[in-house]
Amino acid sequence: MKLRYIGATAALIAGGVLVAQAQQPAQAPATAAAPPPTATTKVTDNVYIFRYVGHQSMFIVTPAGVIATDPISERRPAKPYIDAIQAVTKAPIKYVIYSHSHFDHIAGGQPFKDLGATFVAHRNAKERIQALKPADVVVPDQIVDDKKVITLGGTALELNYVGKNHSNSTLVMRLPKEKIIFTVDWIPIQGVQFRIMDDTYIPDIEDGLKKVIAMDWETLIPGHPGPGGKQTGTKDNARDELAYLQDLSAAVKQEVAQGKSYDDAVKDISLPKYSAWPNYKNFLPMNIERYYDFWNRGI
Ligand SMILES: [Zn+2]
């Protein structure tokens, strides 16, 4: 599917960025210009991606209003996201759907709430938010258990729960007509899992991947762009991620069976099929530790 990049908003330079620039030696070689901090990309006639530095969200435009997803505005203003939507349509923002409970994706939604949006999330996300009470996360108004369909202005958006994976509250948002899914942090475009796979449930994540692969869709929108800033993927990315986890699991299982230590497992295991993925070198050792715990201690 061909994407149309429709614009970027002005830079919001954080203090940290300015300091980093000031500390850069004067003789440093010139590097390619960084992409603008925010951008809107049109995926289909009614579906858009808003990217905010390293995070991205989907929003859906209908004649009756907008369905937005994750505010992605932790410790930064939500205004660029709202401005990006309003640059496309003046229709009201009716919904904000949380992808899962993690604050880096769902913080900063109050300005959407002030505009009258209804917030929707999985039951477990609402429970976690109510337990932890983060100051900058809007508590969901509506919850999803296994499935809910939001219908607005002729568009249907399915909110599917396929079990525990990268959290116990991850939704797979599917647009049946457009054959698009938006799901966050567990099906990257060519990526190993993040660091130590915190909050990730093994082996449930593999079962969930199989369920997602069995669904009818063609385009994946993940919560972070992939290599080279690529914003959408395909079912092959889901198949590759499942293969990566299965290969990793089998390799670690063998190390544990042979009585090897954490350090041995990290030293012994390489998965060359995935070595070109950008975060392979940094995160593979931590992914190995996560699977080591599963095979060695059942956790
Ligand atoms: Zn997450």
DSSP string, 12-51: ---HHHHHHHHHS-TTPPP-PPPPPSEEEEE-SSSEEEEE
> Nearest to residue 171, comparing CAs of 131, 215, 125?
125
Dist. CA 182 → ligand 1 center (Å): 13
Dist. CA 64 → ligand 1 center (Å): 30
Hey, what are 105's tokens?
């994706």
Residue-level pLDDT at 1: 54
Angle between helix 204-214 and helix 235-257 axes, rounded to 10 deg: 160
Dist. CA 25 → ligand 1 center (Å): 35
Residue-level pLDDT at 28: 42
pLDDT of the chain along its 299 residues, tens only? 555 556 554 333 332 232 223 333 334 444 567 777 999 999 999 999 999 999 999 999 999 999 999 999 999 999 999 999 999 999 999 999 999 999 999 999 999 999 999 999 999 999 999 999 999 999 999 999 999 999 999 999 999 999 999 999 999 999 999 999 999 999 999 999 999 999 999 999 999 999 999 999 999 999 999 999 999 999 999 999 999 999 999 999 999 999 999 999 999 999 999 999 999 999 999 999 999 999 999 99
Dist. CA 193 → ligand 1 center (Å): 11
Dist. CA 106 → ligand 1 center (Å): 10
> Nearest to residue 225, comparing CAs of 106, 58, 88?
58
| Residues having C-beta closer than 5 Å to ion ligand 1 | 102, 185
Dist. CA 271 → ligand 1 center (Å): 24
Dist. CA 199 → ligand 1 center (Å): 8
Dist. CA 221 → ligand 1 center (Å): 15
Dist. CA 29 → ligand 1 center (Å): 35
Residue-level pLDDT at 13: 34
Dist. CA 222 → ligand 1 center (Å): 11
Dist. CA 128 → ligand 1 center (Å): 13
What gap in Å lies between CA 243 and CA 209, rounded to an integer?
10
Dist. CA 146 → ligand 1 center (Å): 19
Dist. CA 262 → ligand 1 center (Å): 25
Dist. CA 186 → ligand 1 center (Å): 8
Dist. CA 184 → ligand 1 center (Å): 7
Dist. CA 266 → ligand 1 center (Å): 24
- CB 61 within 8 Å of CB 48: yes
Dist. CA 72 → ligand 1 center (Å): 11
> Nearest to residue 184, comparing CAs of 197, 204, 207, 165?
165
Beta strands in the chain (DSSP E): 4-7, 38-42, 47-52, 55-62, 65-69, 93-97, 118-122, 142-144, 147-152, 155-160, 172-175, 180-182, 219-221
What gap in Å lies between CA 15 and CA 265, rounded to an integer?
41
Residue-level pLDDT at 34: 73
Q: Phi, psi (5° rounding) for residue 53?
A: 55, -110
- Name residue 156's beta-bridge partners: 151
Could you check whether the bond before residue 80 is cis, i.e. omega within 30 degrees of 0? no
Dist. CA 56 → ligand 1 center (Å): 12
Dist. CA 102 → ligand 1 center (Å): 5
Residue-level pLDDT at 36: 79
Residue-level pLDDT at 4: 58
What gap in Å lies between CA 173 and CA 238, rounded to an integer?
15
> Nearest to residue 9, comparing CAs of 85, 64, 122?
85
